[in-house]
Amino acid sequence: MSKPRVRAGKFFMHGDHACAEGALAAGCNFFAGYPITPSTEIAEHLAYRLPQVGGTFIQMEDELASVAAIIGASAAGVRSMTATSGPGLSLMMENLGLAVMLETPCVIVDIQRGSPSTGLPTMAGQSDVMQARWGSHGDYEIVAYAPSSPQEIFDLTVLAFNVADRFRTPVILLGDEVIGHMMERVVIPPEGEIPHWERKRPKSPPENKGDYKAFLADDDDLVPPMAHAGEGYHVHFTGLTHDELGYPDMDADTHHRLVTRLGEKIRRNADQFIRAEELYLDDAEIVVISYGCTARSARRAVREAREQGIKAGILRLISIWPFPEKRVEALGEQARAFIVAEMNLGQIRREVERFVSQPVVGVHHAGGAMIPPEPIFEAICSAGSKT
C-alpha cells in the first residue's frame, strides 16, 4: 500500500511496463496470469506494483485458470486483466467465449511472438490476429487493439478497460514483441486526466430483487446493467444459453436472440471505440494498411514515397476488431491499389480483400524480425508505376 496508483510523469519506459502502468492507471486491481515471453514483464511489474496499491496478483497454474480467475474477479466488480503470448492465448480461448457469453468485462493482453506453437519465444510476430477474432467457438464479436508504441500500449490498455466495462465484453490488446520490449518516451497524465468509462449498474436497489434481471439489455445500447457478486442481487451465471434472469433456457429462439444481441451489441456501438490513424489519405491513390510494430515501417515507407512524388497514404489500424469496413470501403472509391503490411502471411490482407475490388498486395513475413521499411517502399513504388 501507500505508493501512488498513477505514476504521473515522463518516462523512458519499456512497452510491457507501460501496459502494466496503464492497467494500474485504469483502476485494474486484479491480475491472474501465467508468465510467458515476451509478456512476462507485464506480470513481473504488476506482481511488484499491484500490492503497493491494494490490488491482488496471482500466478495461476495455467492460462485456462487465468481467464477463469479474471472473469470471477470481474463478476465481483474488480477491473481484471491477464497477459500472455500466442501459446497461452490458444489455451485461453474456451474461457474467452465464456466471458463473451457471461458479458463479463476483462482485458486479455497478447504480446505476440513468432507462431504457430512454441514458435519463436523471444522474437516478434503478428499472427494471432485471426485467433483473436475467431479463436473461441461460436458466433461472437470481439474488440482488439494493436499498439504501435509504448505510449500507445499505455493509452490503449486504459481504453481496453473502459470499453470492456462500458460494453460488458472481453477486450484483447494485441501487442507484439517489438513494442512490448522496446523502450521509448511514455507520458503518464495525472490521475484526474485518465479517461474512465463506468460499468452500467442496476437502477433499482437489491431489496427490489424482482426488478433486476442480470441479462436484460437496455434497448439503446443492448448492454445489460451489471450487478456484482455479494451486493445482494440474485444473479446466475452460466455458459449455457440463458434467459434474461441468467437461467439456462434450451430454446432455439432464446439462443438466436441471445447470440444475435451479443454480436449486435459490439457492432452497434463500434463507432465509439474503433480507432485509426490516417496519414496522407486525402488524395492517396495507393493506400497502405498496417498495424502494430509493422505500421512504424509502413509510415516511413509512405513518407519516403511522398518525397518521391508518389501519392501514397496510410491507414494505421489502432483497433483491429471490429474491422473498420466502412472506412476501407470508402478508400476503395479513391484508391488504385491497396498494400497490406503485416508480420503474418495475410490475415488482414484477406480482410481488406473482402471490402475492396482493387488488387491488394501483401507485404508479409511469417515473423521473427520486424518488416523494415524497404520492402513496403518497394511495393508502393511497384504499385505506383502500374497504370
Partner 1 sequence: MRIEIRISGFGGQGVGLAGSILGKAIAIHDGREAVMTQAYGPEARGGASSANIVAADRPIDYPFVQHPDILVALSQEAYTKFRPDARPKALILIDDDLVNPFDEDRPFGIPATRLAEELGQRIVTNMVMLGFFTAVTDVVSRAAMEEAIKSSVKDKFVELNLSAFTIGFEFHRSGYTHE
Answer for the pair 310, 332: CB distance below 8 angstroms, yes or no: no
**Residue range at the interface with partner 1 (CB under 8 A); choices 26-34, 98-106, 189-197, 297-305:** 297-305
**CB 384 → partner 1: shortest distance, Å?**
20
Torsion over CA: 301, 303, 306, 311 (sign): positive
**CB 184 → partner 1: shortest distance, Å?**
5
Cell of 177: 514483441
Cell of 329: 470501403
The single residue among 255, 257, 268, 300 that binds partner 1, judged by CB under 8 A, is 300
111 CB-near residues (< 8 Å, 6+ apart): 16, 38, 39, 42, 83, 84, 85, 175, 176, 177, 179, 180
**CB 112 → partner 1: shortest distance, Å?**
14
82 vs 294 by CB, closer to partner 1: 294
184 vs 191 by CB, closer to partner 1: 184
Continuous H helices in the chain: 15-25, 40-49, 63-75, 86-102, 129-134, 150-167, 177-181, 252-269, 292-307, 325-331, 347-353, 373-385
110 vs 176 by CB, closer to partner 1: 176
Q: Is residue 373 within the footprint of partner 1 (CB under 8 A)?
A: yes
Give helix then strand counts, H and E, for the chain: 12, 15
72 vs 372 by CB, closer to partner 1: 372
Q: Is residue 12 within the footprint of partner 1 (CB under 8 A)?
A: yes
**CB 15 → partner 1: shortest distance, Å?**
10
The single residue among 72, 263, 332, 372 that binds partner 1, judged by CB under 8 A, is 372
How many Å apart are CA 81 and CA 229, to the nearest integer?
18
Phi (first) and psi of residue 322, to 5 degrees: -65, 145
The single residue among 22, 27, 33, 38 that binds partner 1, judged by CB under 8 A, is 38
How many Å apart are CA 173 and CA 94, to the nearest integer?
18
The count of residues in the chain is 387
Interaction pattern, residues 235-274, with partner 1; x per rule: CB under 8 A: ----------------------------------------
**Residue range at the interface with partner 1 (CB under 8 A); choices 4-12, 59-67, 218-226, 262-270:** 4-12
**CB 182 → partner 1: shortest distance, Å?**
5
How many Å apart are CA 134 and CA 97, to the nearest integer?
10
Which residues, numbered 118-137, are part of the site for partner 1 (CB under 8 A)? 122-123
20 vs 143 by CB, closer to partner 1: 20
182 vs 320 by CB, closer to partner 1: 182
How many Å apart are CA 92 and CA 135, to the nearest integer?
9
Cell of 296: 512504424
**Residue range at the interface with partner 1 (CB under 8 A); choices 8-16, 43-51, 283-291, 338-346:** 8-16
Which residues, numbered 301-330, are part of the site for partner 1 (CB under 8 A)? 303
Tell me the site size for partner 1, rule CB under 8 A. Answer: 23
Secondary structure (3-state) at 184: strand
The single residue among 52, 59, 183, 203 that binds partner 1, judged by CB under 8 A, is 183
How many Å apart are CA 12 and CA 18, to the nearest integer?
10
Give contact residues for partner 1 (rule: CB under 8 A): 10-12, 37-38, 122-123, 177-178, 181-185, 293, 296-297, 299-300, 303, 370, 372-373
